[in-house]
Structure 1
Amino acid sequence: MAKRYPPNTRAGNRDREATAVVVDAAFGDGQLNAAEHHAAATAVAKARTLDQLAAVVADLQGAVSPPVDRRRPPKRPVPWFAAATVVAALVVGGGAYSLTHRDPAAPRSAAATAVLADPEPLVIPTPFMASADGIALFRDRFREKFGNTVVDEVSFTESSAYLSMAVPGQPNRKISYSFRGGFGVSGELESRKIDTPTVDLDDIDLGALQRTLEEIRTSVNVPDAQVYYISYADEEPPSLHISAKNSFGEGGYVITTASGELVRASAFSD
Structure 2
Amino acid sequence: MIGRHSPSTRARDADRAAVRARLDAAYADGQLTGAEHEARDARADAAGTLGELDELVADLQASSDVAAPARVRGWRPGVFAGVVVGLAVAAGVATFSWVRADPPSAPQEAAFDPAALRPVVVPTPSLVTRAGLEQYLADHLATFGDTLVDEVDFFEQHARVTRSVPGSPDRLVSYTYRGGFDADDVPRTRAVDTAVVDLATLDVDEIAGYIAGAPQSVGVPDGTVGHISVGISYDQPSVRIFVSNTARETGYLEVTPQGELIELHRFENRGTR
Q: State the partner residue of 2:243.
A: 244
> Is the contact made by 1:222 and 1:250 (CA closer than 8 Å) also made in structure 2?
yes
C-alpha distance 208-197 of structure 1, shift in aligned 2 (>3 A): same
> 1:190-247, CA deviations, whole angstroms, 9 ceiling, x for partnerless residues?
1111110000111111111111011112211123110011111022321001100111
Q: Distance in 2 between matches of 1:260 and 1:180?
A: 27
Amino acid at match of 1:254: L
Q: State the partner residue of 2:173.
A: 175
> Is the contact made by 1:239 and 1:256 (CA closer than 8 Å) also made in structure 2?
yes
Q: Distance in 1 between matches of 2:29 and 2:246?
A: 22
C-alpha distance 56-259 of structure 1, shift in aligned 2 (>3 A): farther
Q: State the partner residue of 2:231.
A: 233
Task: Give SS of 2:243's match.
Answer: strand
> 1:12-51, CA deviations, whole angstroms, 9 ceiling, x for partnerless residues?
xxxx99986544113xx653449639959x99xxxxxxx9
Cα drift, residue 6 of structure 1: 9.6
Q: State the partner residue of 1:255.
A: 254
- TM-score, length of structure 2 as denominator length: 0.60
Q: Distance in 1 between matches of 2:129 and 2:251?
A: 17
Q: State the partner residue of 1:12.
A: none
Q: Does 1:58 align with 2:62?
A: no
Query: Which structure ranks higher in relative contact order (CA pairs < 8 Å, sequence separation ≥ 6)?
Result: 2
C-alpha distance 125-190 of structure 1, shift in aligned 2 (>3 A): closer
> Is the contact made by 2:220 and 2:245 (CA closer than 8 Å) also made in structure 1?
yes
Amino acid at match of 1:258: P
> Is the contact made by 2:254 and 2:264 (CA closer than 8 Å) also made in structure 1?
yes
Q: Distance in 2 between matches of 1:127 and 1:55?
A: 37
Q: State the partner residue of 1:24.
A: 28
Q: Distance in 1 between matches of 2:21 and 2:208?
A: 25
Amino acid at match of 1:262: L
> 1:128-161, CA deviations, whole angstroms, 9 ceiling, x for partnerless residues?
1122221111110010011111111100112110
Query: Hey, which of these two has a bigger chunk of helix by percent?
Result: 1
The structure having more radius of gyration, on CA atoms, is: 1
> 1:76-103, CA deviations, whole angstroms, 9 ceiling, x for partnerless residues?
xxxxxxxxxxxxxxxxxxxxxxxxxxxx
What root-mean-square deviation, in Å, do the aligned CA atoms of Structure 1 and Structure 2 show? 3.5
| Alignment gaps of 5+ in structure 1 | 9-15, 44-50, 66-123
Of 144, 148, 151 in structure 1, the residue corresponding to residue 149 of structure 2 is: 151
Q: State the partner residue of 1:13.
A: none
- TM-score, length of structure 1 as denominator length: 0.61
C-alpha distance 133-211 of structure 1, shift in aligned 2 (>3 A): same
> Is the contact made by 1:205 and 1:258 (CA closer than 8 Å) also made in structure 2?
yes
Q: State the partner residue of 1:134.
A: 132
Cα drift, residue 56 of structure 1: 8.8
> Is the contact made by 1:18 and 1:64 (CA closer than 8 Å) also made in structure 2?
yes
Cα drift, residue 188 of structure 1: 2.4
> 1:159-178, CA deviations, whole angstroms, 9 ceiling, x for partnerless residues?
11001111111111111111
Q: Distance in 2 between matches of 1:130 and 1:38?
A: 25
Cα drift, residue 58 of structure 1: 1.7
C-alpha distance 144-21 of structure 1, shift in aligned 2 (>3 A): same
Q: Distance in 1 between matches of 2:55 and 2:62?
A: 9
Aligned length in residues: 192
C-alpha distance 37-146 of structure 1, shift in aligned 2 (>3 A): farther
TM alignment of 1:87-166, pairs within 5 A: 125-166=123-164
> Is the contact made by 2:40 and 2:56 (CA closer than 8 Å) also made in structure 1?
no
C-alpha distance 162-210 of structure 1, shift in aligned 2 (>3 A): same
Q: Does 1:269 align with 2:268?
A: yes
Amino acid at match of 1:238: P
